[in-house]
Every structure is written in C-alpha cells, then in structure tokens.
Structure 1
Amino acid sequence: MNKLETIDWNEISQRGLLARINREIMHPLGLAVCRNPETGASPGAIVSDNGPWVYPEDVDALGSPESSD
C-alpha cells in the first residue's frame, strides 16, 4: 500500500485554498480557519463575535454588506 502524501496548512495557503475555504465556506458562518505560519499547523478556527466575516470589497459606500439578490 502506498503512503499518502500530506500537506500542512502553509502549503494549503500557498495553493490559495485557505483563502477559498474561508471566504466561500467559513466566513459566511462567522468562522475563520487560522494557522501558525511558523509551523504550518492550525489550532482550529476563530469564531466571530458579531456574525459573518465581511471583506472591504463586499461592503458598499455606506458600510453595509451588499445584498446578494
């Protein structure tokens, strides 16, 4: 049986996957996967104390999240 290759969270981030996981899945739920860039390990996810994470480009000029409808 072949040994499966594993990658750490630093490699996941370098491949652009951590940003996608956070933006598309975790942030709408008020969560954010975090990592220690020195070790490549993840202690888990940060929990937002005020709802979904919002990126500056997702906020309109009045500071309100833009509607997706």
Structure 2
Amino acid sequence: MFGFTGGETPETLKRKKGYLADAKNNWDFLTHYDLSTIKTKGQLCNMIKVRRAISEEEAVADVEKWMIGKDFS
C-alpha cells in the first residue's frame, strides 16, 4: 500500500509518499515504520483497530473514508 517495490515511476513515488504523509497526519499514532510496512488495506484497518481499540467496522469505515479518491496502484 505505502511500501515501495522498486521500478516505480517518479509520479508513483511522489503519490505514495504523499499518501504516507497524509495517513501519518490522519492517524498520528502510526509511525513511519508502521506505515512503510503496510501492504494492504486490511493491514491498515487491523492496525488502526488495534491501536485505537475500536471495532473492525469502525476501522474499515475510517480507512475507506480516507481512501476516497486515492490511487494505490
């Protein structure tokens, strides 16, 4: 999701770095390391669920709201 696999275009790198910074601002309890290791939406939801001690449904809704308009490909 936020990780870099190599061979990405400069535009993709810039977009992912921006998303990582935006996620850090949105969920300030997540570290840069946390975010750089997240590869899927499910992993992000789970980390938010655990760290905020909220239900899975709340975490998924929060992440889905944040993901609107973002391209992670």
The structure with more strand, counted as a fraction of residues: 1
Higher RCO structure (Cα 8 Å, ≥6 apart)? 2
Q: Indicate the TM-score class for this superposition, using the shorter chain for normalisation.
A: under 0.3
The structure with more helix, counted as a fraction of residues: 2
TM-score (norm 1): 0.26
Between structure 1 and structure 2, the one with the greater Rg is 1
